């Protein structure tokens, strides 16, 4: 069992006050890693390629992570879990705030030997392709991850205890994903609260509330907020905010330059604004403004001509 250890202090993370950035091979093809946003060292503007060797299982312990892969928006915060295979796809990191995560990297053949197809709901007879499944932690899984973290933080790690704890955690993680029901119905109350959440989200396009803040304000748990929002409105919370933000940007560019528009919408980095704008509209904001100003001038000139030269009877 190999380990590379570097201590990181992180407060208020699932009741565990000290995290250690571990990269430990539990057995060949089965690796566990515990890391924070400080360890990622990722440029938010540079897409990162995923691997093609491992299935990844993540348990988000603290903070918030937003990214996009293969056109799918992934928003993660404390208590969320997921499992996926990236198949070498590019990940576009959009936000990484005070982030802390426990990750399992496991080869498909090892996962099959340990858990089989019934528990994983993966057809291992086919070529592995990109997929991602998301869910929420439960009390048993939370207890299991706390035990794993405690063992990872020990200087004198017991290979047997850690191996045992990881197998238990893997089982509970897969069970939690399996019981997630994406087709669950929304009650009238849920729909009302989600509509209120959307109104609050879009009320200030210069600063998006965190998912935790939004959930607390409307009185709904974070997991139901994220899943219910996408079910009801067809887009994730982050995607809805960004779409409306860029729609407002297009309107502002009619009478404001790019810098003024970016600042009005809460961007401190103009290049980040330009990247987000181009992603939605396919052009840079300066190009869009040039076209908007031209159209506005042309429209005003036409109106002036019509006013000066009314049509003859």
pTM above 0.85, yes or no: no
Per-residue burial over 147-164, b if 16 or more Cβ lie within 10 Å, else e, is: bbbebbbeeebeeeebee
Extract the tokens encoding 22: 């571990």
pLDDT digits (tens, 9 = 90+) for 190-248: 889 999 999 999 999 999 999 999 999 999 988 889 888 988 888 889 989 999 999 99
pLDDT digits (tens, 9 = 90+) for 78-110: 889 999 999 988 888 887 777 889 999 999 999
pLDDT digits (tens, 9 = 90+) for 255-312: 999 999 999 999 999 999 999 999 889 999 999 998 888 776 656 665 554 444 444 4
pLDDT digits (tens, 9 = 90+) for 17-28: 334 446 899 999
Q: Detail the DSSP E strand segments found in the chain.
A: 7-13, 16-20, 22-27, 30-36, 48-49, 55-69, 72-77, 80-85, 90-106, 131-136
- For residue 295, give Cα distances in angstroms to 27, 277, 290: 64, 19, 9
What pLDDT is attached to residue 173?
96
- For residue 86, give Cα distances in angstroms to 26, 66, 95, 128: 22, 16, 19, 10
Rg of the chain over Cα atoms, rounded to whole angstroms, equals: 24
DSSP H helices, 121-201, are 139-152, 159-178, 188-201
How many Å apart are CA 168 and CA 152, to the nearest integer? 15
**pLDDT of 9 strictly over 70:** no
């Amino acid at each position: 069992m190999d380990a590379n250890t570097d201590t990181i202090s992180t407060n208020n993370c699932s009741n565990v006050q000290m995290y250690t950035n571990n990269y430990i091979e539990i057995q060949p093809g089965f690796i566990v890693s515990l890391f924070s946003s400080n360890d990622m060292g990722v440029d938010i503007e540079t897409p990162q390629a995923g691997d093609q060797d491992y299935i990844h299982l993540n348990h988000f312990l603290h903070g918030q992570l937003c990214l996009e892969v293969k056109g799918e928006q992934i928003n993660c915060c404390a208590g969320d879990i997921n499992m996926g295979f990236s198949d070498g796809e590019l990940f576009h990191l959009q936000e990484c705030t005070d982030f802390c995560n426990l990750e399992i990297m496991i080869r498909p053949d090892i996962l099959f030997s340990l858990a089989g197809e019934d528990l994983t709901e993966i057809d291992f007879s086919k070529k592995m392709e990109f997929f991602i499944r998301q869910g929420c932690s439960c009390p048993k899984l939370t207890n299991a991850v706390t035990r794993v973290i405690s063992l990872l933080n020990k200087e004198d790690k017991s290979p047997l205890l850690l191996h045992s704890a990881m197998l238990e955690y893997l089982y509970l993680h897969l069970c939690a994903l399996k019981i997630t029901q994406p087709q669950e119905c929304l009650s009238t109350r849920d729909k009302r609260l989600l509509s209120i959440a959307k109104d609050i989200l879009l009320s200030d396009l210069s600063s998006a509330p965190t998912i935790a803040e939004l959930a607390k304000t409307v009185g709904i748990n974070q997991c139901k907020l994220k899943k219910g929002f996408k079910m009801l409105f067809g887009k994730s919370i982050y995607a809805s905010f960004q779409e409306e933000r860029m729609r407002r940007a297009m309107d502002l560019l009619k009478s404001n330059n790019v810098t003024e528009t970016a600042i009005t919408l809460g961007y401190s980095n103009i290049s980040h604004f330009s990247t987000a704008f181009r992603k939605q509209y396919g052009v840079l904001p300066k190009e869009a403004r040039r076209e908007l100003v031209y159209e506005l001038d042309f429209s005003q000139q036409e109106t002036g001509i019509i006013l000066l030269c009314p049509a003859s009877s």
